[in-house]
Amino acid sequence: MDLLTALQGGYGDAADALRIDGRAISREQLLAAAGAVAARAAGAAALAVLARPTVETVVAVVGGLLAGVPVVPLAPDSGELERAHILRDSGAELLAGADGESAEFRCGLAALPVDLAAKADPAVPVPAPHGPAMLLYTSGTTGAPKGVMLSHRALLADLDALAAAWAWTAEDTLVHGLPLFHVHGLVLGVLGALRTGSRLVHTGRPTPAGYAAAGGTLYFGVPTVWSRVAADEACAQALAGARLLVSGSAPLPVPVFERLTALSGHRPIERYGMTETLITVSTRADGERRPGSVGLPVAGVRTRLCGEDGVSPVACDGESVGELQVSGPTLYDGYLGRPEADAQSRTADGWFRTGDVATIGPDGFHRIVGRASVDLIKSGGFRIGAGEVEAALRDHPAVADAAVVGAPDPDLGQAVVAFVVPEGPVTGDQLAAFVAQRLSVHKRPRRVVLVEELPRNAMGKVLKKRLLEG
């Protein structure tokens, strides 16, 4: 099938074409074992996969795709209620990767065992381009997780656009240790390798030592991973032989960008996307890589900025902040069984409302300010992007990390509040004054809270609502 080009031959087939957490598999063995999964899964409404970082997970996902059955990746640490909701909502009839788990854990679904020694070449249907390839569930920050329907066509369009943007070819060795139940780790990090023909090394856990030892040319990581790599001088220097370091899922702090550059010799690629849109904006392998910027739309994607009404255009002057809206072939096909939620996420002319606020410069470069719900702060009549204040705080030599939120304030509407992880002696007043010197005075934090760490999810994104609740 088109999505899995590398499994059709023509790229060579080393015994370790894919290495997942220390275990290797050839593409021929992967295809044979996945064929056996496809034969079992054919005709099912959906195939859920307990997505541990294992070879079996990759085989199960590929088997579902070969069978033309929507694949539902399930986080291995998902709680009982979340797991039950996803399995029920998706309509999954089989659960792979849960060998040994109880029927209660499986929520009554039949277990589909994955046998790496199996060999099958079943007569499975060729998936329709517009048919659903995957159901990926959102984080559920505004209610129960929603199933995002992604077609084969959308996955193809995105992977090909990224291959062009990053000059990603079969000559590459891709290295990452990201979870296999998200777009970043699974779609880009596994299907991307099976589309381009590149070798894949998944390190199991994304440790600096694991990355340094992998000997890759192309590395994927989230900011937390790159921060840890940059803090380990020897491991960062070991990446000097790579071709590209790619960061995503959250903004990469400028100090981490600069330290990675100094130690590895590589200016990281930054990109932007969502489950519903896949990766839509990125800096380029052959273009400028500007700290704090995610670059330009990838091939086929259009973007625009709109005001709070979702309609009024916002100037692309590099300063004006607006909601980022996206259009193009990488977009999802809707939320499963949630037409009302889908309608709320679309404009009248069909563009997707990301809920993220951004600026776009005259040269087309995009800078993501953050989520409109928590990162666009309306204080005293001013619209303040939390990301801009965070970047200013991180420039202070005594700041290791920072997150900025808008807290309810009876006078200002919202007050700028900063949560700062210090790495040296500093006071809140000193940090507020530091921001006021670098940015407009109205953007300074009204309150600075020093904390030991910031709460983050599995992809490294700061859980700002938790900060507000605290």
pLDDT of residue 122: 52
pLDDT of residue 385: 78
pLDDT of residue 458: 66
Q: How far apart are CA 302 and CA 156, in angstroms?
A: 17
Residues 196 and 127 placed together within one structural domain of the fold:
no
Strand blocks (E) in 346-465: 352-360, 366-371, 376-379, 382-385, 399-409, 413-422, 447-450
Q: Is residue 172 part of a domain?
A: no
Residues 14 and 139 placed together within one structural domain of the fold:
yes
In the numeric block, the tokens 């994104």 are attached to: 461
Task: Determine contact, residues 380/413, Cβ cutoff 8 Å.
Answer: yes
Residues 321 and 192 placed together within one structural domain of the fold:
yes
| pTM to 2 decimal places | 0.83
DSSP letter string, 298-316? PTT-EEEEE-TTS-SB---
- Weakest-pLDDT range from 5-9, 244-248, 330-334, 432-436: 5-9
Q: What torsion, rounded to 10 degrees, do the Cα atoms 152, 9, 221, 225 define?
A: 130
DSSP letter string, 234-297? HHHHGGGG-SEEEE-SSPPPHHHHHHHHHHHS-PPEEEEEETTTEEEEE--TTS---TT--BEE
**410 to 372, 376, 379, 414, 415: CA distances (angstroms):** 21, 18, 11, 8, 9
Q: How far apart are CA 14 and CA 372, in angstroms?
A: 47
Could you read off the pLDDT of 280-297 as tens digits, one per residue?
999 999 999 999 899 999
Split at pLDDT 50, 70, 90, the class of 391 is confident
386: nearest Cα among 419, 361, 411: 419
pLDDT of residue 133: 95
Q: Is residue 338 part of a domain?
A: no
Q: Is residue 434 part of a domain?
A: yes
- The token duo for 98 is 């849960």
Q: Is residue 346 part of a domain?
A: no
pLDDT of 462 strictly over 90: no
Q: How far apart are CA 408 and CA 378, in angstroms?
A: 10
Q: Is residue 319 part of a domain?
A: yes
* Element housing 323 (H / E): strand 322-327
pLDDT of residue 10: 73
Q: How far apart are CA 318 and CA 305, in angstroms?
A: 11
Give 161's Cβ-side CA count (13 Å radius): 25
pLDDT mean across residues, the chain: 91
Boundaries of domain holding 77: 2-151
Task: Determine contact, residues 370/384, Cβ cutoff 8 Å.
Answer: no
Split at pLDDT 50, 70, 90, the class of 185 is very high
Split at pLDDT 50, 70, 90, the class of 421 is very high
Split at pLDDT 50, 70, 90, the class of 82 is confident
- Count CB atoms within 10 A of the CB of residue 444: 21
Q: What torsion, rounded to 10 degrees, do the Cα atoms 222, 223, 226, 227 define?
A: -150
Residues 366 and 454 placed together within one structural domain of the fold:
no
Provide the domain count of the chain: 3
Helices (H), 7-49: 27-41
Residues 23 and 78 placed together within one structural domain of the fold:
yes
Residues 192 and 146 placed together within one structural domain of the fold:
no
Residues 425 and 363 placed together within one structural domain of the fold:
no
Q: Is residue 156 part of a domain?
A: no
Residues 203 and 272 placed together within one structural domain of the fold:
yes
- Weakest-pLDDT range from 124-128, 237-241, 243-247: 124-128
Residues 6+ apart with CB under 8 A from 268: 226, 245, 246, 247, 252, 257, 260, 261, 289
Strand blocks (E) in 117-197: 132-137, 147-151, 173-176
Name the more confident of 2 and 69.
69
Q: Is residue 170 part of a domain?
A: no
The CATH number given to whatever domain includes residue 442 is: 3.30.300.30
Q: Is residue 106 part of a domain?
A: yes
pLDDT of residue 224: 83
Residues 139 and 224 placed together within one structural domain of the fold:
no
Of 370, 404, 429, the one marking the end of a domain is 370
Pairing status of strand 132-137 against strand 47-50: unpaired
The CATH number given to whatever domain includes residue 127 is: 3.40.50.12780
CA angle 285, 159, 189 (to 5 degrees): 85
Residues 364 and 411 placed together within one structural domain of the fold:
no
The torsion angles phi and psi of 104, rounded to 5 degrees, stand at: -65, -45
- Weakest-pLDDT range from 39-48, 176-185, 458-467: 458-467
Could you read off the pLDDT of 12-25 as tens digits, one per residue?
788 999 999 999 99
Split at pLDDT 50, 70, 90, the class of 371 is confident
Q: How far apart are CA 299 and CA 161, in angstroms?
A: 5
- The token duo for 443 is 């953007």
Residues 319 and 198 placed together within one structural domain of the fold:
yes
- Quick one: average pLDDT of 123-136? 74
One-letter amino acid at 78 equals: S
Could you read off the pLDDT of 327-364 as tens digits, one per residue?
999 999 999 999 999 999 999 999 999 999 999 999 99
pLDDT of residue 381: 66
Residues 75 and 34 placed together within one structural domain of the fold:
yes
